Structure 1
């Protein structure tokens, strides 16, 4: 399955741009980050919910690191994002 199939380009692009803007660096994500996004899409996690979960996980990690997180990835935040998704589903 191509990551650039028509059905998921908007979901992928939206999440990619959201995350890159949030962290303030980078031009694209890693292959593992793209794979993770397609997994969330296949689970039908709404893009708005996913972006809120990513932002919450990112901010929490940023607070713990006490500074900018230029090197962080979605894969690195996966557990925290999953926790946020589960919280919202309750």
Structure 2
């Protein structure tokens, strides 16, 4: 993966990362590090998780937890190279 873009997912309003062979996320608690990994988990679930529970890939109580500030009128968009996920309720 060379580029990751996340919009309106959990605590991430908009993030674009140029990825390298190895990526390390360092920061204070509650700054979105785990949400970057969960965005990748959601993308993996949608493309490869047939027969599995979404809860195996992403922590959530209900689907509104996936949206930035629970604003379900703004779609979640997660892109990794040639794969893109749009999530709307």
Q: Shared topology, TM-score over 0.5? A: no
TM-score, normalised via structure 2 length: 0.30
| Higher share in helix | 1
Which one scores higher on RCO, CA 8 angstroms, separation ≥ 6?
Answer: 2
